[in-house]
Amino acid sequence: MKLNKALPILFAIMFLVMVGFGIIIPVIPFYAEELGASPTELGLLMAIYSLMQFIFAPMWGRLSDRIGRKPVIMIGIIGLSLSFFIMAFSSQLWMLFVARVIGGFLSAANMPTVMAYVADITSEEDRSKGMGIIGAATGLGFIFGPAIGGVFTNISLHTPFYIAGTLSLITLLFVFFVLKESLHTSKSNVSLKDKLSLGKAVREPLSMLYFLQFFISLSLSGLEATFAYFAAKKAGMDSISLGYIFMIMGLASAFVQGSMGKLTKRFGEAAIIQAGILISAAGFGLILLIENFTTAAIFLAIFGVGNGVIRPSVSSILTKRSKAGHGVTTGYLSSFDSLGRIIGPILGGYLYSITIGLPYISGIFLSLFAFILFKVYTSKSYRGSLS
């Protein structure tokens, strides 16, 4: 499938997948509470999804290298739909946990396989553009999904789950009839016999990029977990205002991700990663200074711009330089991202309990540590290889 035809289709697929996923976000806490969940159980319910993705994303990526991208993407979407319908029919708390385990296990196939598909059909010159488009689709879907879910929650707590499950089935049909297989177009998957285990992944020449993604995900998820409390205390903002602020941040991130092709051709991926990390660090610092809705929206938008350019560039470099197949490479990247999302909320909550600004101060230091790690590594060991 040609690049100019495939990318819009992949954009639509990831947008629909993330809309479906986002629809249930506003309702899960209330639904779980209705079924008797304690705050700790609610936390476990949210974390177990990321845990499943951390464990199984590399497996799905490796499988997509063997049997093709399209069937694995379909498996991931089926998993989402199944988990949504199980949640809709849940009458006991354990059923919600089953749904989250199934959803996390199967939907772990989506992101790494779609990124591998992009790597299959793009040249090295256009790789960042393709990864940026997928990032923009993911961000926009996650903006619109919770908004839709919040509206339909007024009808019934079950309604958003039925909508999300139905939307996933529609997406599945779209993939089945419209998307063509990409694996045969890939030039880098000739080395499928070179299996990349976790041990090999962290010892690869470019393994630092996996850890870079972990630190970025760790700091971002810590912000997401604590900002509502921070903004309410610092500026008296309510949930509606916070929803608009995160929407603005998401739009800023999606906009810059959609421009990755032009940015990469002008500056190169290594420079964009470094700039993104520094802008993210500045965003964390500015968050400490928020006073009202306007300053919060501007400062989080700045953070969103910096954070938004990092993953597409990291994904691009890894799929260009890794000796393993695209699927297993992007699978490990998704796994490290999920690990950050598991630890980040816990660490962020703990730091917030010490002092409310500590999650963002730690975000500055994590960003600067990631910057130094990337700078030292590229300058000493791989000068010129990450341009």
Does residue 36 form part of some domain? yes
Residues 26, 154 within the same domain: yes
pLDDT for the residue 188: 46
**pLDDT higher than 70, residue 150:** yes
Taking 80 as the threshold, does the pLDDT of residue 198 lie above it? Answer: no
pLDDT of residue 189: 46
Mean pLDDT for the stretch of residues 219-234: 87
Domain presence at residue 189: no
List the domain range (segments joined by +) for residue 132. Answer: 1-180
pLDDT confidence bin for 204, thresholds 50/70/90: low
Residues 145 and 217 in one domain: no
Is residue 257 over pLDDT 80?
Answer: yes
- The sign one gets for the Cα dihedral 273, 275, 276, 280 is positive
User: Is residue 242 located within the same domain as residue 111?
Assistant: no
Phi, psi of 109 (to 5 degrees): -75, -25
pTM summary value: 0.85
Query: Is residue 372 a part of any domain in this protein?
Result: yes
* Residues near 46 by beta carbon (within 8 Å), at least 6 away in sequence: 28, 345
For residue 190, is it within any domain? Answer: no
If asked whether residues 226 and 352 sit together in one domain, one would say yes
Q: DSSP readout, 313-373?
A: HHHHHHHHH-SS-HHHHHHHHHHHHHHHHHHHHHHHHHHHHH-TTHHHHHHHHHHHHHHHH
Judged against a pLDDT cut of 60, whether residue 39 lies above it is answered with yes
Q: Are 268 and 133 in contact (CB under 8 A)?
A: no
pLDDT at residue 190 is higher than 60: no
**Do 206 and 275 fall into the same domain?**
yes
Q: What average pLDDT score do residues 156-182 get?
A: 91
d(CA 27, CA 16): 18
Residue 195, pLDDT > 60, answer: no
Do 169 and 206 have their domain in common?
A: no
Same domain, 351 and 223: yes
**Are 284 and 364 a contacting pair, CB within 8 Å?**
yes
Could you tell me if 359 and 226 lie in one domain?
A: yes
Q: What is the CATH number of the domain that holds 1?
A: 1.20.1250.20
Choose among 113, 137, 180: nearest CA to 315. 113
Distance CA 84, CA 3 (A): 32
Residues 363 and 311 in one domain: yes
| Distance (Å, whole) CA 354 – CA 351 | 5
Same domain, 153 and 273: no
Q: How many domains does the chain have?
A: 2
